[in-house]
Amino acid sequence: MTFDEAFEILVGHEGGYNNLAADPGGETKYGISKRAYPEVDIKGLTLDGAKAIYRRDYWNKLGMDSLPPEVIYSLFDCAVNSGINQACKLLQRAVGVKEDGVIGKVTIAQARAISPLQLVVRLNATRLQFMTELKGWESFGKGWARRVSQVLLESVK
């Protein structure tokens, strides 16, 4: 999966502008939150601006081009939803390597050693288990679970 393909799917899930009091990210547009990007004019953020942020701060930092194509969207969405460090740790937990929050040679090698379908299932199961332990699960759990199910469907197309 390419960055453009992953971004198109992600933006469809993230949606447009919102400023819900219950959202811990605060003001958000295209999944870019004021909490994570206090310097960005969230309401005025363009789709191209969001795309540049996702490429620079997520895709490139995760080293997505080194990972098996089947797991790319799952990891990308996880990083956007839970942060890069947490996404890296969940991938590492899913492949059975030390959880240091950095995708390096060992993580990549282990991810490539597992069948693609098994890797997608393990990552998303690990992600869902992590989500159930978050304090926001009572309020947001149903939506989060739907998101993971959508990610699984996108990942095995």
| pLDDT in single tens digits along all 157 residues of the chain | 889 999 999 988 777 888 876 666 678 999 898 888 999 999 999 999 999 999 999 999 998 989 998 899 999 999 998 999 999 999 999 999 999 999 999 999 999 999 999 999 999 999 999 999 998 899 889 999 999 999 999 887 7
pLDDT at 149: 94
pLDDT at 96: 96
- Measured CA to CA, the distance from residue 85 to residue 99 in angstroms comes to 10
DSSP alpha helices (H): ranges in 20-115? 47-54, 60-62, 69-82, 84-95, 105-113
Phi, psi of 32 (to 5 degrees): -90, 120
pLDDT at 14: 78
Q: Packing angle between helix 105-113 and helix 84-95, nearest 10 degrees?
A: 50
pLDDT at 24: 67
pLDDT at 22: 67
pLDDT at 122: 96
- Alpha-carbon dihedral sign for residues 69, 70, 72, 75: negative
The answer to pTM > 0.85 is yes
pLDDT in tens, 44-56: 999 999 999 999 9
Q: Which two tokens stand for residue 121?
A: 């299932």
Q: Is 75:67 a contact under the CB 8 Å cutoff?
A: yes
- Measured CA to CA, the distance from residue 33 to residue 30 in angstroms comes to 8
| The pairing of beta strand 32-33 with beta strand 28-29 | antiparallel
Q: Is 30:50 a contact under the CB 8 Å cutoff?
A: yes
The domain locations on the chain are 3-155
Query: What CATH number labels 3-155?
Result: 1.20.141.10
